[in-house]
Amino acid sequence: MDTGNVIRPLILEQSSNDAEALASSLRNAGFAVRYRHIEDDEDLQAALGEQDWDILLAASEVGDYRALDAITAIKRAGKDIPCIVFGPPSDNSNTVAMLKAGAADYIDEEAQEHLLLAIDREIGNLRERRAHRQCKILYA
């Protein structure tokens, strides 16, 4: 895992305890984490207005708010934030729906190592995109 930098995830989870448990798993894997727990669109919109975030880690459903809703809101806001959805083992159609909506991955909530590898991959890809955009600005 890339341990050199802080990652700033938005964590869509049912409770702050669940969000902290996920953040703790990330820390145990070597990530430095500064996260924000969100539960609904109001929380998401407030967070998007505060700072740039690196990734959305989303439970497939949190009450009435679904990961698909969050992905749509992030796309609508024009933000480059990769989204990884986790939840119970899914039938193929649910996974495909998440991916078509823009999720980078859908992961079984019990597949901790898969989740950590996907996060590392998406953070690396995001940093490359940001560096590329910065180069385009410098050399434009």
pLDDT tens-digit series, residues 108-134: 999 999 999 999 999 999 999 999 999
Does the structure show a pLDDT above 50 at 3?
no
Confidence at residue 69, expressed as pLDDT on a 0 to 100 scale: 95
Confidence at residue 89, expressed as pLDDT on a 0 to 100 scale: 86
Does the structure show a pLDDT above 50 at 23?
yes
Confidence at residue 138, expressed as pLDDT on a 0 to 100 scale: 85
Average pLDDT over residues 83-87: 95
d(CA 26, CA 119): 9
CATH superfamily of 6-138: Response regulator (3.40.50.2300)
The model's pLDDT over 27-71, given as tens digits with 9 standing for 90+, comes to 999 999 999 999 999 999 999 999 999 999 999 989 899 999 999
